[in-house]
Amino acid sequence: MSNEIRVRFAPSPTGNLHVGSLRTALYNYLYAKKVGGKFILRIEDTDQTRYVDGAVENLFTTLKAMGLEYDEGPEKGGEYGPYYQSKRTDIYNKYVQELLDKGKAYRCFCTPEDLDIMREERKTKGLDTRYDGRCRNLTEHKINEHLENNDKFVIRLKIPQEGEITFYDVVREKVTFPWNMVDDQVLVKSDGLPTYHLANVVDDHLMEISHVIRGEEWLSSVPKHLYLYEAFGWKPPKMCHLPLLLNSDKSKLSKRQGDVAVEDFLNKGYLPETLLNFVALLGWHAPNNEEFYTLSELEKAFSLKRINKSGSVFDVEKLNWMNGQYLRNTDLKVIGEYARKYFEKAGYHIPNEKHYLELVDIARSRIHKLDEVTEFAKPFFSELEFTDDDKEILKTESSQILFKFWIDNIIDSPELNEELINELLKRSAQELEIKGKNLYPPLRLALYGSAHGPELPTIMDILEKEKVVERFKNALK
């Protein structure tokens, strides 16, 4: 085994990428970058019953959108492939036979009905419902009898029944499990396909994975995995189990309480940069309590030693705040590109790029997510709707004089530019003696549908002269 640091992200294609899985991928990626190692992508698709069409493609698309490039894996290749577990069955079969030959695994011929009865019996006796090992010591004669009858079987790991196992985890430090708490794990299902536990260990060894960085939910599986390493005579990788992501009520983050897929967050207008920054801080405490990091800055700052033990709350309000900061502080042209699809979806077309960016700039100072951007654009594209209070403002004598003054002074002008707008605002105050709340709110209301909003030169620049005149005429009615 080489001394190179090699880490892997190994998702199952059971749906769109979860934000918890994004964090796992990110931490693996960051550690590889920090130490000059390799980041490997492996698809753990041995459970065909849970396979979801399009999940693999979604994974590739999402990782690319988030800027997490892997060094080896599907579509990139590498010397340790194939990187789909469903294409590695022959490899697993070889190692399963080795376990059977060594007496470290056994065939279990219990039917699903047998197992249901066993669980009920154990439950009535106040015992846990794990497998009771009734096939552990079948005679060779009995095994052959089952095989001659073509009875279906699974292959189970023969876990020690006494003592305990202690191992070191980078986050949890010293961890101990009594063997009597560990099930005789199924390694190969009755359809001949391996379970996660066997394929995971074999692949991590053959792909020379040095560190296994994954979610806390896999911590209880470590004894089974370490026992497999021992059975094969292999050196295990270092273990690092990440804290759970939690809802605000401290329950495990799940789609029952809201969006959890990365794609959902991106579609709502959270920036990839925000999501990466946000999930990086869910379980990792940054040096000097810094909050804002680019991906390249995270690569330099990240450390496995700074991962927390306790679960982290996925605080949507904090995410909204952070995304608002990114919207306001990222280059306007970049935000403009991200926002464009929302304008297209709403059917809002702005041929003038300068006007488009002006509008995005107005909106981004007032929103938290880009899917809100078109709400601020709506007054520029839709007929304005006025409340009764609005109408009272529009039809006051000073407002009507004001609108007529503006129509008369811009209708014949060659163009409506900022210089003319500022001049007319000044003349409105001086010649018409209309100032303050009787000047700006009525003009903004007539043009934008709200007494509060963007600066008047900006509104008029985006609307352009013809539309400005039309709206002032409507306000005169």
Residue corresponding to tokens 């990110």: 26
Q: Say which amino acid occupies 332.
A: L
Q: Which band of pLDDT confidence, cut at 50, 70 and 90, is reported for residue 118?
A: very high
pTM higher than 0.85, yes or no?
yes
**Contact at 8 Å (CB) between 71 and 219?**
no
At 471, phi and psi to the nearest 5? -75, -35
Q: Is the backbone of residue 67 left (phi > 0), alpha (psi -120 to 50) or beta? A: left
**CB neighbours (10 Å) of residue 334?**
12
Query: Rounded distance, CA 401 to CA 416, Å?
Result: 20
What is the token pair recorded at 114?
A: 């047998």
Task: Tell me what pLDDT residue 265 has.
Answer: 96
Q: Which band of pLDDT confidence, cut at 50, 70 and 90, is reported for residue 466?
A: very high
The residues, ordered by sequence, that sit 6+ positions from 77 with a Cβ below 8 Å of its Cβ are none
DSSP state of 236: P
Instruction: Tell me how far apart the terminal alpha carbons of the chain are, to the nearest angstrom.
Output: 83
The residues, ordered by sequence, that sit 6+ positions from 115 with a Cβ below 8 Å of its Cβ are 131
Listed in order, strand segments (DSSP E) in 184-260 are 186-188, 211-215, 238-242, 245-246
Rg value, the chain, Cα: 32
The residues, ordered by sequence, that sit 6+ positions from 421 with a Cβ below 8 Å of its Cβ are 456, 457, 460
Please check the confidence at residue 121 and state whether its pLDDT lies above 60. Answer: yes
The residues, ordered by sequence, that sit 6+ positions from 183 with a Cβ below 8 Å of its Cβ are 130, 131, 159, 224
Note the helical H segments in 183-315: 196-206, 222-232, 262-267, 272-280, 295-301
**Contact at 8 Å (CB) between 108 and 155?**
yes
Please check the confidence at residue 257 and state whether its pLDDT lies above 60. Answer: no
Strand pairing report for 245-246 and 312-313: parallel
**Contact at 8 Å (CB) between 72 and 38?**
yes
**Contact at 8 Å (CB) between 190 and 152?**
yes
DSSP state of 112: H
At 7, phi and psi to the nearest 5? -120, 160
Class of domain 331-373: mainly alpha
Q: Which band of pLDDT confidence, cut at 50, 70 and 90, is reported for residue 223?
A: very high
b/e map 424-441, b = 16+ CB within 10 Å:
bbeebeeeeebeeebbbb
Query: Rounded distance, CA 346 to CA 272, Å?
Result: 22
DSSP state of 128: -
Query: Rounded distance, CA 94 to CA 152, Å?
Result: 20
Share of the chain above pLDDT 70, in %: 99
CA angle 178–221–217, rounded 5-degree value: 115
Active site residue 255: yes
**Contact at 8 Å (CB) between 134 and 118?**
yes
Query: Rounded distance, CA 339 to CA 364, Å?
Result: 10
Q: Is the peptide bond before 82 cis (omega within 30 degrees of 0)?
A: yes
DSSP state of 134: T
403-415 pLDDT, tens per residue?
A: 999 999 999 888 8
Residues constituting the chain: 477
Which entry of 255, 309, 333, 391 is annotated as an active-site residue? 255
The closest alpha carbon to 41, from 85, 11, 13, belongs to 11
User: Which whole number is the average pLDDT over 100-127?
Assistant: 94
Task: Tell me what pLDDT residue 258 has.
Answer: 62
CA 146 to chain centre: 47
135-148 pLDDT, tens per residue?
A: 999 999 999 999 99
Q: Which band of pLDDT confidence, cut at 50, 70 and 90, is reported for residue 436?
A: confident
**Contact at 8 Å (CB) between 107 and 143?**
yes
User: Which whole number is the average pLDDT over 254-272?
Assistant: 85
Name the maximum alpha-carbon separation found in the chain: 111
Q: Is the backbone of residue 103 left (phi > 0), alpha (psi -120 to 50) or beta? A: left
**Contact at 8 Å (CB) between 249 and 16?**
no
Measure the CA dihedral 330/334/338/344, to 10°.
Answer: 130
CATH architecture label of 383-476: Orthogonal Bundle (1.10)
Please check the confidence at residue 2 and state whether its pLDDT lies above 70. Answer: no
Q: Which band of pLDDT confidence, cut at 50, 70 and 90, is reported for residue 255?
A: low
Class of domain 1-74+243-326: alpha beta
User: Which whole number is the average pLDDT over 418-427?
Assistant: 93
Greater pLDDT, 178 or 477: 178
Domain spanning 90-188: CATH 3.10.20.30 = no
Domain ranges of the chain: 1-74+243-326, 90-188, 331-373, 383-476
**Contact at 8 Å (CB) between 105 and 195?**
no
The closest alpha carbon to 296, from 72, 5, 34, belongs to 34
Query: Rounded distance, CA 85 to CA 189, Å?
Result: 14
The closest alpha carbon to 171, from 57, 352, 310, 313, belongs to 310
Q: Say which amino acid occupies 202.
A: V
